[in-house]
Chains A and B, each alone.
Chain A
């Protein structure tokens, strides 16, 4: 009798667990629920939270953080100037799933939501006719957005599906995931300042007690966990679960997999822990007045931890890609690898909770393997997360909805437009129901990028960079290039004024 390896065992458990507890999952391998054209390719989005393109070797980063993504890129479309629409999970995810900018969908605050009138305007509904929708929002914040569209999703896997320790209360209320998560995990049993006097502390105590006893083999810095929420997981369990789940999808299916890593805390596996103790230092950049003013040494060590975590994730991605290859998934599916926002380790700022919109936070990976693709193709024209929805609409044979603010991606029905204007918006301090009064907006047009800060200081301010000659954004051209600055400023302010108009009326 052949010996069953731990990984094989975990794969079986990984795929069996959701099937046992969520009967709808078993239907993927079972009979058809919807009458559909099985010759249509599947569309699979694998989103890695907080993965900055700037830290990936596939995009030229000097540390070898993503050799498996480089391998994947050899049979994929590689978008070199792809931008997130927001700078953290809520707006970034909402933009990707609604094809609209944060100033339109209004999920702009921590724990924010897509506005009620737009609930039906989402990617699951767009591909819904004939496609079966599956979503696995491992990140609790992404679950807050995804669960708003639950009516259009055939199978919504809870955040803790492949977790090792899961104390999320919202997952227990499968018919009301969104509000129960907000009310319980995000309020009553919240990590800090819990509203519940009895169950809250008791749950936390139980969680910490059990977390302390979790085997941490292979994770010298502790197991990966969801920041602020009671959920621990191992990378191998999550990816092994996906390696079983994704090949079992019936055609045609649309799967949205929103993975929490490499979001902080950065927990590299022992294979990669310490791998980047290489003495390499990125270009020094001045501390920004709006940054948290983290010390340089701490920034460097955080960057190294992030890079090592990226390499650990890439290793698991490699295993997943091998399985997908072996099972013929690449032959019959669009596999999209992207992120909701990036991560920043410069200018006195660590991570992404900031009002700054520099490239490391906005520039995210986008690699798309089309069915049967054997060669690499590179796209350099600027694109945005809002373009994913119209592209998928087109790929799945559906009309592009009129409400989307994106356009189909080049090479997938769209054209390379280097002069197109694309935006990234940060407005977590503004009300979702009022004009954006405290915000940062970045406009990318051609090779230039204009950053607009409003509401932080007595006067609004701008920065202008030419990314072609100054990719590190060190030379602010705003005072030196008045003509370009004025043109872009006028466009940005006009757009900003337009998007705020509907809310001015409500004042």
Chain B
């Protein structure tokens, strides 16, 4: 079995990664701006910047974790199942998986108990997501849209990558020196 032949290209990776970045970073940044008026009440700009850096560093790790899932699937599954349709299936997997996490996240609000029961459905949800991933990309129209959208979203990597690197360095410096 030759794994290197099933490793997606940089272009394929960036397409899938950009979708993960937009959702993960977007979710976090929306929450950050929602919280900003409170931060402004008691924190200086520098402190707010460091909090933002920690948050972005978490997002960086999360996005890398998320994109590693389609990569692993591409490596371990037969080429026809995943590698040959990496962008369409990878984007679908990321969209549905993060959609599930967003559903949980939106239920984890101040007035309700933690939605632990939603996690109990995780194996079933995962199975359903995989089934959907494998069947939905047969709809040509849908795969085309996914490819176009993910291609357009790559522009956000031009912002997210440098911001993530700076944030990671900020966190590193504060905890090493």
A and B: interacting chains: yes
Residues of B within 8 A of A (CB): 23-24, 27-28, 31-32, 34-35, 38, 40-44, 47, 50-51, 53-55, 58-59, 61-62, 65-66, 98, 101-102, 104-105, 108-110, 114, 116, 119, 174-176
* Contact B41 A198, beta carbon cutoff 8 Å: no
Q: Which residue of A lies closest to B119 (CB)?
A: A205
* Contact B58 A175, beta carbon cutoff 8 Å: no
Chosen A-B contacts, 14 in total, with CB atoms closer than 8 Å, are: A109-B41, A113-B47, A175-B176, A182-B47, A183-B51, A187-B54, A192-B110, A195-B27, A196-B28, A197-B24, A197-B62, A198-B65, A198-B101, A201-B119
Residues of B contacting A: mostly:
helix
* Contact A196 B47, beta carbon cutoff 8 Å: no
Residues of A within 8 A of B61 (CB): 199
* Contact A201 B58, beta carbon cutoff 8 Å: no
* Contact B98 A197, beta carbon cutoff 8 Å: yes
Q: A112-B41, A198-B101 are in contact. List 19 more A-B contacts (CB 8 A).
A: A112-B42, A113-B47, A173-B175, A176-B174, A179-B47, A179-B50, A179-B54, A179-B174, A180-B54, A183-B54, A187-B35, A188-B54, A194-B108, A195-B35, A197-B98, A197-B101, A200-B105, A201-B104, A209-B116
Q: Which residue of A lies closest to B120 (CB)?
A: A205
Tell whether A319 is near chain B: CB-to-CB under 8 Å: no
**One of A193, A198, A431 near B66 (C-beta < 8 A):** A198
* Contact A182 B119, beta carbon cutoff 8 Å: no
Residues of B within 8 A of A113 (CB): 42-43, 47
Task: For the complex, give the distance between the alpha carbons of A173 and B173 in Å.
Answer: 12
* Contact B42 A111, beta carbon cutoff 8 Å: yes
* Contact A208 B116, beta carbon cutoff 8 Å: yes
Residues of B within 8 A of A188 (CB): 28, 54-55, 58
Residues of B within 8 A of A179 (CB): 47, 50-51, 54, 174
Q: Which residue of A lies closest to B47 (CB)?
A: A179
Tell whether A204 is near chain B: CB-to-CB under 8 Å: yes
Q: Which residue of B lies closest to A198 (CB)?
A: B62
Q: Which residue of A lies closest to B62 (CB)?
A: A198
The CB with the most chain A CB atoms within 10 A, among B31, B34, B43, B54, is that of: B54
Q: Which residue of B lies closest to A178 (CB)?
A: B47
* Contact B31 A193, beta carbon cutoff 8 Å: yes
Chain A 86-112 interface 0/1 with B at a Cβ cutoff of 8 Å (1 = within): 000000000000000000001111111
Q: Which 9 A-B pairs have the closest CB atoms?
A: A183-B54, A195-B31, A112-B42, A198-B62, A183-B51, A109-B42, A432-B42, A176-B174, A205-B119
**One of A108, A112, A173, A194 near B105 (C-beta < 8 A):** A194
